[in-house]
Chain A
Amino acid sequence: MTLFARRPQLRWLVPLIAVAVLASAGSVAATITASARDPLPARSAAQLLVDVQNARVDGLSGTVVQSASLGLPALPGPSGDQSSNLSSLVSGSHTLRVWAAGPEQARIALLGQLGESDVVRNGSDVWIWSSRDNSARHLKIPADAGHSRADTPTPGQPTTPQQAADAALRAITPTTRVSTARTAEVAGRSAYELVLTPRDAATLVGQVRIAVDGATHIPTRVQVFARGAKKPAFEVGFTSFNPSTPSSSVFRFNPPPGAKVTQGMVGGADHSPAARPQDAGTKPQLVGEGWTTVVKATLPQSTEGSTGRRSGEHADGASPLGNLDAMVQKLPAVSGAWGSGHLLRGTLFSVLVTDDGHVVAGAVAPERLYAALAAK
């Protein structure tokens, strides 16, 4: 202490050292655990795809963080970076907790600040809970509709995982370079990565990286990078992952007293809270191919009518597209030889809504959209 007595200024080093130690403690721990792991054996893209299809776990639980920096303007309506509203997933960062046990039990909880939305499936019962609205929606899955759609192979489709993997790779190879990496780390676990790089330089998408857990072969992270970007524009992945069957109490749901309970059947549009605007218009038309495909569609004449119908379908009262018109008007106005309209320019895609009711969208720069419009 005589040192501090002689040079009192040196005392300030103590809190500074504490800051340095505390700030680095997290990353040091991560490095130690990372270096302690064995490297994964090499796998080709086809092998990896087969692994993913063969992956079967009895159950899992974990936390998924989804973050998007798509360069979208702030959307009017339900906002806030940690909202538990299910329709708010388009911007900002969100945390979900997931549990699954077998094919019949699953639960997803979207965590908001002091709020939560849950989708719980337990056998043939599905509950959708919103703590914000204090409401629970009960859906029944018809006994025969369970998993026929996904599991029964239709004629002409690949029947083995190997065939399916080969077919998928054959289909995308002309437009995409496919490679694998085995150095990724997701939720503190070693993972393979399937790296898809578009061959066409005109698309805004630079790379898509899909991480596959090294031990369970379950896809654990998807990242989409804009061209030239170091950080992903869209990312969804596990931050904690536990491949063991969660307790069955997690899937038990009884609506609490006082909650608004509505009943329904599975089917219809209930599973797509973010219905795309193109759905409501005439049949969309595709221009170009591969990564630079541009979707062209016509908006319905009366936006009012369609949003009214849609919010009725959703029965959750708050249609995310209720103020579509107002939103479009806030976008920057553009014009050219093709006409005039409003442009939404994101990091991964562009959407152009013309004043005469057409909408064109694609993972391309706006110039491509103008060209697609001119080509009609």
Chain B
Amino acid sequence: MSAADLTTPVPRVAMRRPSPRFLASELRLVLRRRRNMAGLVVLAAVPIFIAVAVKSTASQPGSDAPAFFQSITENGLFVSLAALTIELGLFLPLAVAAISGDAIAGEANLGTLRYLLTVPVARLRLLGIKYAAIVIFSFLATFLIAIVGMAIGLILFGGGDVTTLSGTQISFAAGLGRVALAAVYLSLALASLGAVGLFISTLTEQPIAATIATVVFSTASFILDSIPQVHWLHPYLLTHHWMSFGDLLRAPIAWDGVVHGLYLAASYGLVFFLAAWARFAGKDVTS
């Protein structure tokens, strides 16, 4: 038990108004890191690459192309969706894993964690700030892809009415709203993976180990989800409903999968945040 924990009772401190200053400094720390900026540039490069590749190829993408590729030539908005679909497999989870794996283990590895804890900040509140920064980063990464994809798509292919998966058309504004909804949904889904990463980050002092373990978690979840023999497990897998963001592009919207996905994301987020607290609050910080 550390002195910080005993002198500042956790619940009372946790009730205190969240300090925007602490969160702002944490966000600045995350975003100013050269490696994180490079990661965001890679994320943003994918939609640009997709749009340029489709534009510069004479033949239209056929029915064996990845989802949404066929629609790109009709409407530039689909560059966002195609990029999100492709990056959801590895790039986005990897980005969130890098940030969340670094959250505690990174500080421990650099030796800054014990200094952080000497200031009178409750550990629950420290975890809360760390997690808030992860959630904000999830939104940032997802919306960066969506907005860059939309911008390059509109420049190269133009906009107009949006064709839903059901074959009916909705106005461009409505389509924009659907893409924004999809991005919010994916951000929340990735934020729940961030909670898993935060928990793993409290287990180790090696940030790279926490990051790899988090990517392994999401990838294993994808793999299990594709094995029909364990279909009883599928509804409980973190990634099972991720692709349900496509349901937001039907007419009318099919909410079932999205609602299940949000419930699952909230559950994973809560459980792993509590587990991170259980581990971190009672941990002897030596480095």
Contact = CB atoms under 8 A, between A and B. Distances in A.
B250 A116 contact: yes
A92 B229 CA distance: 10
B196 to A, nearest CB: 12
Interface string A5-39: 10011011011001100100000000000000000
A63 B255 CA distance: 11
A97 B255 CA distance: 12
B256 A1 contact: no
Contact of B275 (A4, A15, A118, A250): A15
Contact of A136 (B67, B167, B243, B281): B167
A111 B247 contact: yes
A189 B73 CA distance: 45
Interface in B258-287: 267, 270-272, 274-275, 277-279, 281-282
A336 interface: no
Contact of B165 (A12, A115, A240, A255): A115
B274 A18 contact: yes
A93 B231 contact: yes
B168 A5 contact: no
A1 B9 CA distance: 7
Contacts of B228: 81, 92
Nearest to A132: B63
B167 A131 contact: yes
Contacts of B67: 113-115
B165 A256 contact: no
B194 interface: no
B206 interface: no
14 contacts: A1-B10, A1-B11, A4-B281, A5-B6, A11-B277, A11-B281, A12-B278, A14-B278, A18-B267, A18-B274, A22-B267, A93-B231, A239-B256, A256-B163
Nearest to B122: A1
B128 to A, nearest CB: 15
A131 B165 contact: yes
A256 B167 contact: yes
Q: How large is the interface on A (under 10, 10 to 19, 20 to 34, 35 or more residues)?
A: 35 or more
Contact of B231 (A12, A81, A114, A256): A81
Contacts of A257: 74, 163
B250 A109 contact: yes
A250 B250 CA distance: 11
A254 B169 contact: yes
Given A14-B277, A63-B256, A134-B63, A118 B166 contact: yes
A18 B270 contact: yes
A78 B272 CA distance: 38
B190 to A, nearest CB: 18
A81 B229 CA distance: 11
B278 A15 contact: yes
A133 B63 contact: yes
Given A22-B271, A258-B74, 4 more contacts: A11-B282, A22-B270, A115-B246, A116-B250
A255 B161 CA distance: 13
Interface string B224-250: 000010010000000000010011001
A253 interface: yes
